[in-house]
Amino acid sequence: MKKRGFYLVLALILCCNNPSKAQTVKDFFYIEKDNKVLPVFVRGNLDNNTIVLYVQGGPGETAIDFGRSDYPGWQNTLEREVAIAYYDQRGLNKKVNKIDTTVINYGQYSKDLIEISERLKKKYQAKIYLMRHSYGGGFVYHCLSEFNKTTSPIEGGIVVNTPITTDYSPERYNYYRPQYLKNLTLEFINQGIDTAKWQEAYDWIEETDSICTPEDSKKWNSYVDNAFVPTKRKISFGMVTKVLFSKPYNPSNYLTRQDNKLVSDLILTVQKHFSFFEFLPKINVPVLAITGRFDDIAGPEEMQKTKDLLKESKIIILPNAGHESFLDQAELFNEAILEFILRK
């Protein structure tokens, strides 16, 4: 009896001295199981009862491979504090003749985000935030504007390198892109960096004043492409194999990417009829918008307009980052995300 009591006391001491293990998750499931539609891959730490639902850009890009390969490097950073759910949008991972093109639209994609969020909240008893990169931001803006606090399980949104103009927006070519180059040239000239080259760029954009022709776009790109060298993520063989032979991908179908192209074309067609300027004032949850100073797709000028249109927002411009700010200034990016969702 004495020995048994001794071992019991020892076990209690050891338990008290050992820190509790993190409540981690690594899960895969389909929202529509029978049809294998909307696959979801969840990974990370649930100690903070928070899940970030990641919406991929493109349009038409897959997100589960983005997470499984750990392209953004979040497995050992963000996912140590919160869980991230990566999902592939409706229409992906299907043979093109099996894709129901009638459901490839903003309305259905918004409903999908709500359904996934509700499933995640119920399954893991967690708070849900949406995070999107680049074009994926359009889906989230639409979702947050259509479903308010009383009808949505979503606590807030994070838009990463997301423009509020589209390829069909006159504001992009008549104001934001010219203004981006003007501000960029003045910064370089004031800093004494390649002053002759940037003075030439400034004189050209002052005279041109809008980017309306293919020749103008080519000239504009020739300047902005040389303003910043982005961080390049090396794609290793291990990253590729983690994706190719895992659900929901079939190697032959995945590599041809015919489904991606069809979904992308359909969404870009639908985009002609949308204006994000109308969506933003309707959003009534907190939004964090992050971009890079050298992001020529979602420049600081557009982010300022985003802030003006949103009711409750915070804008962060990373000073040495481009369109993949999560790679260019990863530490600052991760700190901003965690501060927003965990209020650290």
Asked if residue 294 is part of any domain, the answer here is: yes
Residue 9: is its pLDDT beyond 80? Answer: no
Q: How confident is the model at residue 4 (pLDDT cuts 50, 70, 90)?
A: low
Asked if residue 2 is part of any domain, the answer here is: no
Among 118, 107, 124, residue whose Cα is nearest residue 48: 124
Whole-number pLDDT of residue 292:
96
Q: Rounded mean pLDDT of 248-256?
A: 69
Whole-number pLDDT of residue 250:
66
The half-sphere exposure of 25 on its side-chain side, counting CA atoms within 13 A, is 26
| Boundary-marking domain end, from 203, 224, 245 | 224
CATH number for the domain harbouring residue 128: 3.40.50.1820
Cα angle 37, 239, 335; round to 5: 85
Instruction: Please check whether residues 280 and 141 belong to one and the same domain.
Output: yes
Asked if residue 7 is part of any domain, the answer here is: no
Q: Rounded mean pLDDT of 155-173?
A: 89
Tell me the C-alpha distance between 267 and 263, whole Å.
6
The DSSP call for residue 246 is S
**Span 174-199, pLDDT tens digits:** 999 999 999 999 999 999 999 999 99
**Span 47-105, pLDDT tens digits:** 999 999 999 887 778 899 899 999 999 999 999 999 999 999 888 877 777 778 888 88
Instruction: Please check whether residues 335 and 204 belong to one and the same domain.
Output: no
Domain ranges, residue 195? 170-224
What's the burial of 292, exposed, middle or buried (CB within 10 Å: 0-12/13-18/19+)? buried
Instruction: Please check whether residues 196 and 242 belong to one and the same domain.
Output: no
Query: CA dist 277 to 73, 104, 281, Å?
Result: 32, 22, 8
Whole-number pLDDT of residue 239:
81
Instruction: Please check whether residues 53 and 92 belong to one and the same domain.
Output: yes
Asked if residue 17 is part of any domain, the answer here is: no
* Mean pLDDT score of the chain: 86
Task: Report if pTM > 0.75.
Answer: yes
Whole-number pLDDT of residue 335:
97
With tokens 């892109």, the residue in question is 177
Whole-number pLDDT of residue 70:
92
Domain count, the chain: 2
- Report the side by side order of strands in the sheet with 287-292: 24-32, 37-45, 83-87, 50-55, 127-133, 154-160, 287-292, 313-318
Instruction: Please check whether residues 277 and 312 belong to one and the same domain.
Output: yes
Asked if residue 335 is part of any domain, the answer here is: yes
Instruction: Please check whether residues 47 and 145 belong to one and the same domain.
Output: yes
Asked if residue 272 is part of any domain, the answer here is: yes
Asked if residue 4 is part of any domain, the answer here is: no
Question: How many other C-beta atoms lie within 10 A of the C-beta of residue 130?
Answer: 27
Tell me the C-alpha distance between 228 and 297, whole Å.
13
Are residues 55 and 130 in contact, defined by beta-carbon separation less than 8 angstroms? yes
Asked if residue 16 is part of any domain, the answer here is: no
Instruction: Please check whether residues 196 and 265 belong to one and the same domain.
Output: no
Instruction: Please check whether residues 237 and 217 belong to one and the same domain.
Output: no
Instruction: Please check whether residues 256 and 297 belong to one and the same domain.
Output: yes
Instruction: Please check whether residues 213 and 254 belong to one and the same domain.
Output: no
Q: What percent of the chain has pLDDT over 90?
A: 53
Residue 244: is its pLDDT beyond 70? Answer: yes
Are residues 225 and 295 in contact, defined by beta-carbon separation less than 8 angstroms? no
Q: Rounded mean pLDDT of 114-139?
A: 89
Instruction: Please check whether residues 175 and 283 belong to one and the same domain.
Output: no
**Span 262-306, pLDDT tens digits:** 888 787 777 766 777 888 999 989 999 999 999 999 999 999 999
| Boundary-marking domain end, from 199, 224, 249 | 224
Token pair belonging to 288:
């964090």
Bond before 248 cis per omega within 30 degrees: yes
The amino acid that residue 54 corresponds to is Y
Are residues 141 and 122 in contact, defined by beta-carbon separation less than 8 angstroms? no
Instruction: Please check whether residues 294 and 152 belong to one and the same domain.
Output: yes
The DSSP call for residue 281 is G
Are residues 286 and 313 in contact, defined by beta-carbon separation less than 8 angstroms? yes
